[in-house]
Structure 1
Amino acid sequence: MYIVFVRHGVPDYSLSDKRKMSQLEKDYAPLNRDHIDELKAVALEIQLEKAEVIISSPYTRALQTAEIINRTLGLELFVEHDLREWRADMDGGYVGLQERDRRWHEYRASLKNNAVPKNVSYESWAALRNRAENVLSRYTHYSKVIVVSHFNVFESLAGYQDTGIDCGSYRLLRLEGFG
């Protein structure tokens, strides 16, 4: 299966920061309107890839990105809960920023070393990959799909990346063993 992986557009956290909202509440932050035209240009580029369907994370920034792209492409759009962000705490509790960063760096080090950590309180890269692959397995009847999601989902599928993928950018990915 070929994937046109799009990282969501640039979010606007100004209102949620001003109101001191939790990370969960920040997931509802919209896109930054100053970057919408960039997404429209990406949609024109992606059009050349001839994908058959769009699959999106449920987070606002991803859904808005998928919708902007779909205005150009006019494809079926599916929202998939399991294309969401990496979970910093598997118990669903609040994790302070310093601890979240520590867990994130540990998570990325394990991905870089292709090692699956045991007995950690956060979601491992292997678990994230598994849930993303479970979603994608339902779309194997398509030869090329657009996935609008988050960097950590991309990296779990593509492997460790020295450099990220900018918000509103896309990469092509061939997922072995799928379609």
Structure 2
Amino acid sequence: MKIYLIRHGEPDYHQVTEAKYKGFGRDLARLTETGIAQAKANTGHSIFDEIELVLSSPYTRAMQTTLEMVRFQNISVIVELLLHEWLPDKTGTKLASAEQVPSAYLDYLNGTNESPLQCESKEEVYERVSQVFDAYKSKGYECIACVTHAAVIRLFTGLEDIDFCGIYEFNY
């Protein structure tokens, strides 16, 4: 199955920061005006001539990106819970500030367990997202797009630099 992985547009964390949202609340951040323009720039992309379905991460920035890209397309969209970003705190209770994330991210990158947060490992992210891909492959889809996050795209493509609204093709 061919999959186009698309990173969400540039997020705007000002509103959630001002509201003092923590943990999963930060995932409610919307796109910046630049992020909206990035998503709109993909609307005429040739992938829409071949994809059968668009899957979206449930995070606001991914769903807003999906909305802007498919607004004038005749294509189905499904929000898939398991396409979300890497979790710096699997418990959802320990992450109190954005400043804690860098040490958890180093744990993620290095496969260590030195952060006080219980972060999701690369293996866990890969397994979680593979469950989604397996489900759609077993349903007979030949070409889909997934609006998701940089950490997910890096795992499946091996690329390091993942641009906002970048489109990355791979065979699953």
- Contact 1:12-1:32 at 8 Å conserved across structures: yes
Distance 2:107 2:113 in 1: 12
Say yes or no: does 1:24 pair with 2:24: yes
Aligned twin of 1:131: 128
Secondary structure at the residue paired with 1:122?
Answer: coil
Q: TM-score, normalised by structure 2?
A: 0.86
Give the percent of matched residue pairs that are identical in Structure 1 and Structure 2: 28
| Aligned match of 1:108 | 109
Which amino acid counterpart does residue 168 of structure 2 have in structure 1? Answer: R
Q: For residue 43 of structure 1, what is the aligned residue in structure 2?
A: 43
Contact 1:126 1:156 in 2 (8 A): no
1:174 aligns to 2:165 (yes or no): no
- Where in structure 1 do 4 or more consecutive aligned residues deviate above 3 Å? 46-49, 96-99, 117-120
Aligned residue for 1:173, secondary structure, equals strand
C-alpha spacing 1:76/1:91, structure 2 compared with 1 (3 Å): same
Alignment of 1:15-94 (within 5 A): 15-47=15-47, 50-94=50-94
TM-score, with structure 1 as normaliser: 0.83
1:32-66 Cα shifts (integer Å, max 9, x gaps): 12332321221212445511100000011101111
Kindly tell me the number of residue pairs found equivalent between the two proteins.
167
Distance 1:10 1:46, change over 3 A: farther
Moved more, 41-50 or 9-18: 41-50
Structure 2: state its 5+ residue gaps: none
Structure 1 residue 106: deviation in Å? 2.4
Q: Tell me what 2:157 maps to.
A: 158
Q: Secondary structure at the match of 2:147?
A: strand
Distance 1:31 1:49 in 2: 26
| CA distance in structure 1 between the partners assigned to 2:114 and 2:37 by the alignment | 44
Alpha-carbon shift at residue 91 of structure 1 (Å): 2.3
Equivalent residues of 2:58, 2:83 under 8 A apart: yes
**Per the alignment, do residues 143 and 40 of structure 1 end up closer, same or farther by CA in structure 2, a change over 3 Å counting?**
same
Q: What stretches of structure 1 of length at least 5 have no aligned partner?
A: 111-116
C-alpha root-mean-square deviation of aligned residues, in Å?
2.1
Quote the Cα distance in structure 1 between the aligned partners of 2:62 and 2:98: 23
CA distance in 2, matches of 1:67, 1:155: 23
Q: Which residue type is aligned with residue 173 of structure 1? A: F
- Where 2:30 maps in the other structure, the secondary structure is coil
**Which whole-Å CA distance do the structure 1 matches of 2:68 and 2:131 have between them?**
26
Q: What is the alpha-carbon distance in structure 2 between the residues aligned to residue 61 and residue 97 of structure 1?
A: 17
Task: Write the mapping of 1:130-149 to structure 2, written as runs, cut at 5 A.
Answer: 130-140=127-137, 141-149=140-148
| 1:85, distance to aligned residue in structure 2 (A) | 1.2
The residue aligned with 1:113 is none
